[in-house]
Structure formats: C-alpha cells, structure tokens
Amino acid sequence: MERHRSAVGAYDLAAIRSDFPILDQMVHGKPLAYLDNAASAQKPHAVIDSLVALYSHDYANVHRGLHALSSRATDRYEAARETVREHLNAPSEREIVFTKGATEALNLLAACLGQGILRQGDEVIITGLEHHSNIVPWQLLRDRMRIVLKIVPVGDNGDVDPADLRALLTDRTRVVSVAHMSNALGTILPVEEMVADAKAAGAITILDGCQAVSHMKVDVRALGCDAYVFSGHKVYGPTGIGILWAREDLLDRLPPYHGGGEMIRSVTFEKSTWADLPAKFEAGTPPIAGAVGLKAALDYVNGIGMELIARHEASVFDYAVDCLESIEGVSLIGKARRRASILSFVMDVAHPHDIATLVDRQGVAVRAGHHCAQPLMDRFGLPATARASIGLYNSIAEIDQLAEALHRVRRLLA
C-alpha cells in the first residue's frame, strides 16, 4: 500500500493489479478480465491478510470478554468503526452501525421508521432506478401500514430530474430514499439537490451508496442526508458486512431492529431497556471479521486515493463507451449526463444471457439479467441487459478483450 501512497499523481496499475491474487489466472485458456465489479469486487492481499491475521492470532468475541484475545478483537473491531467514520466524514462513531450489508441496513431503516415515525397515509418517495433492496422494504411497509409509495420517473437517457422529485413532495412526505448511483445504468443522481429539496419539505433523506462508495469520495456532511448505507464487498472488502450511517438524533428516535444480546442495557421479564448507540442496533455477535476486513479495504483504497481511482476509472470507462458504441448491433442503455463505471448494453443478435455465456469463453466476466432493478428494465422495455462494470484494477487491454469477445459473439450468431 505504501507504494501507491507515495506515487502522488501517478497510478501504478501493474502494482495495483498485483495486489489482487485472483486476477492472475486463466479462464477457459484466456487471461481473466473481471468486469463484474458492480455485483462484487475482488479482494486485495491487504484484506485477505487481515482476515488471516485475525483468525490466526486475535479472534474472540468482542466487548464481553475480559481476556487478552477478546480485548484485541474488540480493539480491531472498534478501529474499523473509526475508519468507516473517517471515510464518510461522519461526525461520530456512535452513528456507524455495522450490518450484514446495505440490504439489511435499508430494511432496518424501513422497519424502524415504520414502528417509530411513519403513520398511515404518510408518503415515501423513491426513484424508478432503485435496486430491489430500496423498493421491497418500502412495499412491505406500504402493505402493512398503508403508507403511500411514490416513484420519481427516469428519463429516456437514464437521468433523474430533481424537478420531478419536487413535483411529488407534499406535506405528507416523510421519507425520500434514493440511490446515489444506479447499479444498473451507472447514473450518478443529483443527490445534493434532491436531498436539499426533500429536507426543505421536512422529509428524512436516505441514500443507497452501494455503487458510489467504490468510485468517488463520499462526505455525508456535504451531502446533507440523514442516512447513508453501503456494502463492504463492493468496495473490495468481505461479504457479510455493511454500513448504516445515520444522524445520531435519528437513531435515538428509532426503536431497535433486532432484540438479543449486546443491544440491551438491562433485561427483566417485565421490561428491557436499550444500550447506547450504536450497540442498540447491533444485536448478537456482530460481523467481527467482516468489520476488520472492511477496515483493511478502506485503508487500501484511501492509500491509493479516491481521486486517483476515479480518474483512472473514468479514462477506462470513456474508452469502453467508445469501443462498445463502435460495435455493430450493440446498444448502450442509459446515457445520463453524469455516469460512471457501469455499461449496460444489449445486442441485436443475442440475448444478454447468451452474451455473458459466450464472452466468458473468452475469459471475460460480465453480468446479465435485470440486476435487481426489474422496474427499471420494464421502463426501457427490456427483460435484461448485459453489464460490464469497471473497478480500480481494470485496464484498457481488458476493454479490448471485451470488445473482441463481442465481435466474436456477432460473428457466431449473426
């Protein structure tokens, strides 16, 4: 990691790629070109080594033990919380809640808001390009307590217009929950303006940062939102770990999500009282190794520099757009004014599932399907798309490999 930090203004792609052992392999006799980062990113040695070290030397349950291993594990777990706080520029560690992932974080917010704040007839607004994890929890709440769910439309180019949000805001709007960046199109939403408009209407604002956190610097104070969620595995960390950041006053107002050990102050058969934040929302044995691995992942990307990562990815992305647009029969879906990393596309000669299967034979890993965004696919009249998504280790050569694989698909099926 030191070699990246010392190379100010430079981007040592070869050195970065060497940090990811999984990239050094052949698939079907071809060099692996991993372009499925929006689904899950690969892990550097720093993350893998942190997990091995924890399980080899420091593992025990956290917080409740008085012995040396528990103390060391607790120190590493809480150090991860501070690293997340710094990464998001959050005001307090008390506002950082460890979850299983962004899906659990969004379910937590929806369920707890439903118990503690929302009432029948209140309105929740989302957009038409949300991941299912920012749709289904609100539908469950709607069906249970008869709130009103409103949808901000998506334009033909994949943009979301803040004016369309403003048109939906009323004095019954209680929550506005939107993606920071679309997982299916790569659209970067104008969240600063949307958050400001929603807060002016008195709404609680939630941002799904699963895609954005891997590609740009995130500052929750500058964004002005009330809550921000993301998953560790998309930012080069382990699976099974996610982050809910929310303002301390909001977390104080919400009831607990799960009951059990660690989240209580006292328990009798008559009554239980809750622990201070963030333990109130971390019932049971937490994702200790996940938190430790996430700290290593955030240290890694910050050691390179989020600005340098964004600059590198933008150059690869721009090249990829030009490449794919030059291939006969390939159509990119979504050309928003601000977008990054993700290219969603279709071909006139092949179903997206066939595209993914055939390019895999050339060593190229892409995803095909509805990308947990079925309403967005319906908006564009598509059952699915193929999706190539760029990470910090991807290269121009890998885009050429994808392009050649798509040419082969056309030659085979046309």
Phi and psi of 345, rounded to 5°? Answer: -150, 165
Tokens representing residue 103 in the block: 């899906």
Which of 227 and 116 is assigned the larger pLDDT?
Answer: 227
Mind listing the pLDDT tens digit for each residue in 304-324?
A: 999 999 999 999 999 999 999
Look up residue 284 and give its amino acid. G
Instruction: Tell me which residue of 128, 155, 126 sits closest to 376, measured CA to CA.
Output: 128
The whole-chain average pLDDT of the chain stands at: 96
The domain boundary, picked from 244, 278, 302, lies at 302
Phi, psi of 121 (to 5 degrees): 90, -15
Average pLDDT over residues 295-307: 97
- Total tally of structural domains belonging to the chain: 2
Check whether 8 has a pLDDT greater than 50. Answer: no
Residue 377 φ/ψ region, left for φ over 0, alpha for ψ in the -120 to 50 degree band, beta for the rest: alpha
Domain's final residue, options 302, 324, 348: 302
Say if residue 233 is in the same domain as residue 172. yes
Judge whether 210 counts as a catalytic residue. no
The pLDDT, as a whole number, for residue 382 is 97
Quote the pLDDT of residue 2: 39
Catalytic one of 112, 210, 323, 372: 372
What would the mean pLDDT of 345-359 be, rounded to a whole number?
97
Residue 10 has pLDDT above 90, yes or no: no
- pLDDT of res. 6: 35
Let me know whether 38 and 92 are in one domain.
no
Answer yes or no: do 278 and 336 share one domain. no
- Kindly state whether residues 291 and 328 are assigned to the same domain: no
pLDDT (0 to 100) of residue 366: 98
The predicted-structure confidence for 26-76, as pLDDT tens digits, reads as follows 999 999 999 999 999 999 999 999 999 999 999 999 998 899 999 999 999
271 and 311 together in one domain? no
Task: Identify which of 298, 306, 280, 272 has the alpha carbon closest to the alpha carbon of residue 392.
Answer: 306
62 and 161, same domain (yes or no): yes
Domain containing 387 equals 2-43+305-413
Q: Please count the helices (runs of H) and the strands (runs of E) in the chain.
A: 15, 17
Q: Are residues 216 and 360 in the same domain?
A: no
Write down which residue in 302, 335, 363 finishes a domain: 302
Q: Are residues 230 and 133 in the same domain?
A: yes
Query: Tell me, what's the pLDDT at 9?
Result: 56
**338-361: average pLDDT:** 98
Q: Cβ of 54: how many Cβ atoms within 10 Å?
A: 21
**Taking the alpha carbons of 354, 355, 358, 361 in that order, is the dihedral positive or negative?**
negative
Buried b (16+ CB within 10 A) or exposed e, 77-107: beebbebbbebbebeeebbbbbbbbbbbbbb
Cis-peptide, bond into residue 278, ω within 30° of zero: yes
Per-residue pLDDT at 414 = 84
Contacts of 200 (CB under 8 A, 6+ apart): none
Of the chain, the percentage scoring pLDDT greater than 90 comes to 96
b/e 151-162 (16+ beta carbons within 10 angstroms → b): bbebeeebbbeb
Where residue 182 falls among pLDDT bands split at 50, 70, 90?
very high
User: What CATH number corresponds to the domain at position 39?
Assistant: 3.90.1150.10
User: Is the domain of 13 the same as that of 98?
Assistant: no
Q: Is residue 119 within a helix (H) or strand (E), and if so which, with residue range?
A: none
346 and 408 assigned to the same domain:
yes
Residue 394: both structure tokens together: 């991807």
b/e code 349-385 from CB counts within 10 Å (16+ = b): ebebebbbebbeebbbbbbbbbbbbebbbebbeeebb
Tell me, what's the pLDDT at 3?
40
Give the model's pLDDT for residue 5.
39
Instruction: Dump pLDDT digits (tens) for 125-178.
Output: 999 999 999 999 999 999 999 999 999 999 999 999 999 999 999 999 999 999
Residues with Cβ < 8 Å from 332, sequence gap 6 or more? 321, 324, 325, 343, 344, 345
Same domain, 310 and 396: yes
**Do 318 and 277 sit in the same domain of this protein?**
no
